[in-house]
Amino acid sequence: MTQVKENSTRNYNKGISINNCPVTYVMNKIGGHWKPIIIHQLMSGPKRYSELRKAIPEITEKMLIQHLKQLQTDDLVNREARPVVPPVVTYSLSPLGTDLTPVLNAMVEWAFRAQQC
Amino acid sequence: MTQVKENSTRNYNKGISINNCPVTYVMNKIGGHWKPIIIHQLMSGPKRYSELRKAIPEITEKMLIQHLKQLQTDDLVNREARPVVPPVVTYSLSPLGTDLTPVLNAMVEWAFRAQQC
DNA sequence: ACAAGTACTTACCCTAAAGTATGTATCATG
DNA sequence: CATGATACATACTTTAGGGTAAGTACTTGT
């Protein structure tokens, strides 16, 4: 029975609220290797699961659905499943997810300015 | 002798350039648990090492200097050491680091909009 | 009857990032 | 002569995130 350390920063940061640090809050939502890439793909319009896989060839299926699920629970993407066979599942950005555009744009702008120095 | 898998996505993402994915490029610079918090602290002006420690009580010294070093090599913060005893070391945002302000502001704005929904 | 396509699921492994704990150099001061 | 203050360094451990590989359910086409 291995003890879980409740008061570690690791655990603390998980439940961090917007009031503690808004930037950390955002990082928890869109941080990591894959989430920004997935969001970026969906910014060019809704896509089926298989289309996302083709658009991001390096991602594994596990990572793809795992992050898509997380993005759903965070209300950044919507999932629409048509009950046909073979299944047709379409993912799209929610209004909240669409609102991320200025954030990602600011990042891209900074990235190019950083490159020039 | 354990083989290192050269062609893993893990390794691939490390050397990712701005041309592949600007957002991932930015994430590599300011992502993680602590970097945004440190940058945010320095946005209110230069601070000594000990001041940063007091301002971010949860961070360990190891994490603090480790990320300060990384931020230096990425040219986001400057380090100024006065050769006195006891030492006086002051950290401040570089011009490039200061340029991150719109990015962090966009994040904060989005965070508060997200909270209302 | 079996391969193919779709959208997942699950079990197991590996590593990088984060955390813990302790040590170092220098000098002023009591 | 030992303590305190500052700004680190370093060895070891833990954990969360990511990766690999294989399996599932359902139906259409051959």
Q: What is the 3-state secondary structure (H, E, C) of chain B?
A: CCCCCCCCHHHHHHCCCCCCCHHHHHHHHHCCCCHHHHHHHHHCCCEEHHHHHHHCCCCCHHHHHHHHHHHHHCCCEEEEEECCCCCEEEEEECHHHHCCHHHHHHHHHHHHHHHHC
Instruction: Say whether the CB atom of B14 is under 7 angstroms from strand D.
Output: no
Instruction: Say whether the CB atom of A61 is under 7 angstroms from strand C.
Output: yes
CA distances from B66 to A88, B60, B71 (A): 47, 10, 9
Tokens read off for A100: 């991320």
Could you tell me the residue ranges of all domains in chain B?
13-116
Rounded Cα gap, residues A77 and B1, in angstroms? 43
Residue B1: how many other CB atoms lie within 10 Å: 3
> Does domain A31-116 fall into CATH 1.10.10.10?
yes
CATH of the domain spanning B13-116, picked from 1.10.10.10, 3.30.70.330, 3.50.50.60, 2.170.130.10:
1.10.10.10
Shortest CB distance from B103 goes to which of A31, A32, A107?
A107
Contacts of A113 in chain B (CB under 8 A): 96, 99
Rounded Cα gap, residues B52 and B41, in angstroms? 7
**pLDDT confidence band for B1 (50 / 70 / 90):** very low
Rounded Cα gap, residues B91 and B103, in angstroms? 21
Cβ–Cβ of B36/A25 closer than 8 Å? no
Q: Is it true that the peptide bond before A86 is cis, omega within 30 degrees of 0? A: yes
Question: Does residue B75 carry a pLDDT above 60?
Answer: yes
**pLDDT (tens digit per residue) in A13-45:** 555 555 567 888 888 899 888 999 999 999 999
Spans of chain A below 70 pLDDT: 1-20
**pLDDT confidence band for B73 (50 / 70 / 90):** very high
Tokens read off for B79: 């380090």
Q: Hey, of A12, A24, A56, which one would you mutate to test binding to chain B, going by the most B CBs within 10 A of its CB?
A: A24
Rounded Cα gap, residues A73 and B26, in angstroms? 25
The DSSP letter of residue A93 is: E
Rounded Cα gap, residues B67 and B73, in angstroms? 10
**pLDDT (tens digit per residue) in B7-59:** 445 455 555 555 567 888 888 899 888 999 999 999 999 999 999 999 999 99
Q: Is the distance from CB of B47 to CB of B91 less than 8 angstroms?
A: yes
Contacts of A102 in chain B (CB under 8 A): 106, 109-110
